[in-house]
Amino acid sequence: MNIKTITSLAALGLILLTGCQPAQQEVADLVLTNAYVYTVDKSRNVEQALAVKDNTIIFVGSNEDAAAYIGETTDVRNLGGAMVMPGIHDMHVHALGTIKPDMCDLDSESLSLEQMVPVLQGCIEEYEIAPGDWLIVLQWAFSSG
């Protein structure tokens, strides 16, 4: 290549670079600072701050680094050392135990098979179970009846 080609390419490169700007830091909806953030990451299991945008955690780290995610509309909360930890979701829930179901419920009474017959006949009448349909019975204490 000759000097004119090299100079032209260098000038073109400089022109293209002048239009480049560093990427804008994402502004968070919520930033929690001065917290005890438990991360479950062995290499850094505790941090000071986290940032959230659109219900997604976008940053976990120091208070100083979290400041880059704070904008005019960011809700910033100083937790004063309070703990933040990953969500623990109890997927073993007995939802039927929260209210009394409108169905045949033996309430874990110790009933023998003979004792259950009149109770079940009462349930069939109360819940108008048609012949051939299933009668669903809750809480039979089979091991003690």
Which of 38, 54, 84 is the last residue before a domain boundary?
A: 84
What domain range includes position 129?
96-138
For a pLDDT cut of 90, what percent of the chain falls above it? 50
113 with 76, same domain: the answer is no
Which of 84, 106, 124 is the last residue before a domain boundary?
A: 84
127 with 101, same domain: the answer is yes
- Residue 144 domain-assigned? no
Contact 27, 71 (CB under 8 A): yes
The pLDDT assigned to 35 comes to: 96
What CATH number is associated with residue 47? 2.30.40.10
- Residue 8 domain-assigned? no
Token code pair at residue 83? 């703990």
User: Structure pTM?
Assistant: 0.48
- pLDDT tens, position by position, 71-125: 999 999 999 999 998 776 666 766 656 666 778 988 888 888 899 999 999 999 9
Q: Domain total for the chain?
A: 2
